[in-house]
């Protein structure tokens, strides 16, 4: 159980285009999902918290107009990188929270490798 | 702000030996401490976690210890195998919520055959 999927696994796009990444919790419902960014040989950096039915909460320094997050259902959150540029190239990973309160646990997706040319 | 420090950054051990990774955290309100294993090109995989109401938890070859007074926790892997080679991340919850977590910088573990 507790499986999180991401699609696509990798994407290459031209500078100036937009890219949408999907994150799904396959066997549980998640009112909260998170989006992270990871550069090579570095740790995960939290970008935003995605809450079902409400606006996402962005971490300091993350442009909300550039990284659009939509959490339309309890099993799906999407991250859209708008007007992508080469510096947006990175490994994007989502996670979904399973459980409630003192027993909740965060499970991660397999990641999406974005390359902007 | 909240901070998690992780040591060592790299660790090489002989197959069959034990590996220990240590982390310290700054937020005294943290009460949830997961450990993740990340293989190259993949997402982090939860391998074990511990909550503040216990001091130790074990799952086969993996164990985690927690010292809330000193604000540090450790991952212990015994009888290491080649497939244990990966990057390991510790994390600590921000405040009392187990949902939002902050990661350590990671430890690259290599198992020598």
3-state secondary structure of B42: coil
Please judge whether B106 and A43 are an interchain contact, meaning their C-beta atoms are less than 8 angstroms apart: yes
Kindly report the average pLDDT of chain B as a whole number.
Answer: 94
Q: Over the stretch B34-55, which tens digit does the pLDDT of each residue have?
A: 999 999 999 999 999 999 888 9
Please give, rounded to a whole number of angstroms, the shortest distance from the CA of A58 to a CA of chain B.
13
Residues of A in contact with B43 (CB under 8 A): 4, 6, 93, 108-111
- Dihedral sign, Cα of residue A19, residue B44, residue A34, residue A76: positive
Please judge whether B98 and A108 are an interchain contact, meaning their C-beta atoms are less than 8 angstroms apart: no
Q: Which of A1-5, A83-87, A98-102 has the lowest mean pLDDT?
A: A98-102
B26: left (phi over 0), alpha (psi -120 to 50) or beta: alpha
- What is the per-residue burial (b if ≥16 Cβ within 10 Å, else e) of A100-111? eeeebbbbbbbb
Task: Give the residue from B50, B90, B52 showing the smallest Cα distance to B68.
Answer: B52
Please judge whether B44 and A103 are an interchain contact, meaning their C-beta atoms are less than 8 angstroms apart: no
Residue A23 is predicted with a pLDDT of 97
Residues of A in contact with B94 (CB under 8 A): none
Token digits for B72?
């540090």
- What is the per-residue burial (b if ≥16 Cβ within 10 Å, else e) of B14-24? eeeeebbbbbb
Residues in chain A: 117
Residue B103 is predicted with a pLDDT of 95
């Amino acid at each position: 159980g507790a499986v999180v999927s991401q699609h696509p696994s990798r994407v290459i796009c031209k500078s100036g285009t937009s890219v949408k990444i999907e994150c799904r919790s396959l066997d549980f419902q998640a009112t909260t999902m998170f989006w992270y960014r990871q550069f090579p040989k570095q740790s995960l950096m939290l970008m935003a918290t995605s809450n079902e039915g409400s606006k996402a909460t962005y971490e300091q320094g993350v442009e909300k107009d550039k990284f659009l997050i939509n959490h339309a259902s309890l099993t799906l959150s999407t991250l859209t990188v708008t007007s992508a540029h080469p510096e947006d190239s990175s490994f994007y990973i989502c996670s979904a929270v399973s459980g409630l309160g003192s027993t909740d646990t965060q499970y991660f997706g397999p990641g999406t490798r974005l390359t902007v040319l | 702000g909240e901070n998690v420090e992780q040591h060592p950054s790299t660790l090489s051990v002989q197959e069959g030996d034990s590996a220990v990774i240590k982390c310290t955290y700054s937020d005294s309100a943290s009460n949830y401490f997961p450990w993740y294993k990340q293989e190259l090109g993949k997402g982090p995989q939860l391998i074990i976690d511990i909550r503040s109401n216990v001091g130790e938890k074990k799952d086969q070859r993996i164990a985690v210890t927690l010292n809330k007074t000193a604000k540090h926790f450790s991952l212990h892997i015994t009888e290491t195998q080649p497939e244990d080679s990966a990057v390991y991340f510790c994390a600590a919850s921000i405040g009392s919520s187990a949902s939002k977590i902050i990661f350590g910088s990671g430890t690259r573990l290599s198992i020598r055959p």
